[in-house]
Amino acid sequence: MAEARPTHGVEWAIAGAVVSFLGLVVVLPLISLVATVGRAPWEAVAGLSTGEAVNALGLSAAVAAIALAVNGVFGVVGGLALVRHRFPGRRLLDWLVDLPLAVSPVMTGLGFLLLFGRTGFLGPVLERLDVQVAFAVPGAIVATLFVTLPFTVREVALVAEEVGTVEEEVAATLGATAAQSFWRVTLPKIRHGVVLGVTLTVARALGEFGAVLVLGGAITNRTMTATTYIHAAIEGRQTSAGFGMALVLAATSVLLMSAVQRRTSR
């Protein structure tokens, strides 16, 4: 049906409801964050230049970079595997890949704690190997790898399904090796999916809170990430530092996502 302007009173009422709903739920709260930080920007800057804030941001960036690398590689392998190969257990694998989206991050943290904690199922093994995962940096990394697993797999699978395998077959008939075909044909074809997938991965990694709180323990200067820093700062009444960090995180994710969306929609 042709697009139209609302004509009926009821339609205008619905339009008004939509605007006020989005305003009250999303827009005004986000504006109030910017306004709160903007009212006393130097307090936020001072709060964010303390050692613990810098360390927290650094750890978040490092963990996000690791998630990008590991789940980027596994995402390409997995996305292609699910679309291009038929093997026993494929449906189960497909289902497992989506599972991190369905479970609470607290349960994720608890699950790893039950595995890697001192009294956990693998606790004695880790103790003998002298490896600490829970309440240490590896814990924050593992938790983040779990929650960011689906993104690159899904985006790569979507694109791989669209582009098909005709070019790869041509490459094979022309004598290309599997490696040549992957680097010169497949990877350029699925490029957009990879870029979108790893961006979602980074945004999600920077924003992960529950799982890294439970498994990492949010120990100041050791396992405190940007999100757990916000939580601790606000609980400790250091509102300007907490809001400053919240703004930094939100702005980073929003800019990342909008940059990628603009690129991939072209």
Q: Kindly state the tokens that stand for 211.
A: 């799982």
CA atoms within 13 A on the CB side of 61: 8
Least CB distance to other proteins at residue 183 (A): 14
Least CB distance to other proteins at residue 191 (A): 18
According to CB under 8 A, which residues from 170 to 209 bind other proteins? 200, 203-204, 206-209
Dihedral sign of CA atoms 4, 10, 16, 22 in order: negative
Euclidean distance between CA atoms 238 and 44, whole angstroms: 10
Rg (CA), the chain: 23
106 lies in the site for other proteins, by CB under 8 A: yes
Orientation angle between helical segments 41-48 and 51-84, nearest 10 degrees: 80
* Position among 54, 65, 101, 187 found at the interface with other proteins (CB under 8 A): 101
231 lies in the site for other proteins, by CB under 8 A: yes
Least CB distance to other proteins at residue 210 (A): 4
* Position among 41, 69, 98, 236 found at the interface with other proteins (CB under 8 A): 98
218 lies in the site for other proteins, by CB under 8 A: no
Residue bearing tokens 């985006």? 155
- Do the Cβ atoms of 252 and 195 come closer than 8 Å? no
- Taking residue 233's Cβ as centre, other Cβ atoms within 10 Å add up to 24
29 lies in the site for other proteins, by CB under 8 A: yes
Least CB distance to other proteins at residue 37 (A): 9
* Position among 47, 48, 151, 244 found at the interface with other proteins (CB under 8 A): 151
Cβ distance to other proteins smaller for residue 112 or 137: 112
